[in-house]
């Protein structure tokens, strides 16, 4: 059980452990309406390539099952549904009802609702039985989780033996000379874009700060191993701005 006196980062702020989840929910409730537009603007559309790469490594076959944790507006969910086909099943989960509603509407518009379930769920305490899913994905959501080790253990629990976890997340630039350019973009351009497009500079300032506070590639790799994942490894994308970590349940 979490000690209510513990503190945790919320961007560059330090807040009470019990406070972070509510503040994260408020951020994403605020940006839900412009979330997809802002993703395209912020990444110049490259987020689509990162997600395509993630989907290319799921190993899913027709008829299997997948869980998209913190799936938001459903980018990865759409790809997972196409992979498992009409005989398979995908669960889209998110802790934020506003984001989940956007994802559900998008799936409805795509005509892909027959074999998908939308569930409000906390990544730290996933409300699914043990050994249920062949693959679990979480895209750009882990850094917002209060207790990341607990979330990784929860995702491990719901995977079937032999199942794979894929964690797509912002990370630490590895390309020489990229870090100062990335910092200038993150702290000067992103909040201005947030203000102009979503009328919310503060949420996008938090976005930049949360990325800097997230564990780097090697630290997150160690966390996957500590949670029990075998064959854990990662792929740096776009000079390390993003990394895809993956591991299997044994």
pLDDT value at position 30? 79
pLDDT value at position 2? 45
| Proportion of the chain above pLDDT 90, given as a percent | 69
What are the structural domain ranges in the chain? 7-175+205-248
Spans of the chain below 50 pLDDT: 1-2, 4
C-alpha torsion sign, points 50, 56, 60, 61: positive
pLDDT value at position 4? 47
pLDDT tens column, 149-178: 999 999 999 999 999 999 999 999 999 999
pLDDT value at position 218? 98
pLDDT tens column, 30-45: 777 777 787 788 888 9
Q: What CATH class has 7-175+205-248?
A: alpha beta
* Nearby residues of 142 by Cβ (< 8 Å), 6 or more positions away: 70, 123, 148, 151, 167, 169, 214, 220
pLDDT value at position 5? 52
Helical residues (DSSP H) of the chain, grouped into ranges: 20-31, 35-43, 46-56, 75-84, 97-109, 148-158, 178-184, 190-197, 201-213, 217-226
Rounded Cα distance, 173 and 180, in Å:
10
């Amino acid at each position: 059980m979490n000690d209510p006196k513990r503190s945790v980062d919320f961007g560059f702020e330090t807040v009470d452990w019990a406070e972070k989840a509510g503040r994260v929910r408020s951020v994403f409730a605020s940006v839900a309406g412009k979330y997809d537009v802002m993703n395209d603007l912020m990444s110049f559309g490259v987020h689509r390539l990162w997600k395509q790469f993630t989907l290319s490594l799921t190993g899913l076959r027709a008829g299997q099952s997948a869980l998209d944790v913190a799936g938001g507006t459903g980018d990865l969910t759409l790809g997972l549904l196409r992979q498992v086909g009409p005989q398979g099943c995908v669960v889209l989960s998110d802790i934020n009802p506003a984001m989940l509603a956007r994802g559900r509407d998008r799936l409805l518009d795509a005509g892909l609702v027959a074999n998908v379930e939308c569930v409000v769920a906390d990544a730290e305490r996933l409300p699914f039985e043990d050994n249920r899913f062949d693959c679990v994905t979480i895209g750009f959501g882990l850094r917002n989780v209060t207790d990341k080790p607990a979330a990784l253990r929860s995702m491990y629990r719901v995977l079937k033996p032999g199942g794979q976890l894929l964690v797509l997340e912002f990370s630490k630039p590895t390309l020489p000379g990229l870090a100062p350019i990335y910092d200038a973009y993150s702290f000067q351009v992103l909040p201005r874009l947030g203000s102009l497009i979503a009328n919310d500079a503060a949420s996008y300032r938090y976005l930049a700060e949360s990325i800097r506070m997230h564990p780097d590639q090697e630290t997150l790799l160690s966390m996957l191993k500590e949670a029990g994942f075998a064959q854990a490894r990662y792929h740096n994308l776009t000079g390390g701005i993003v990394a895809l970590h993956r591991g299997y349940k044994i």
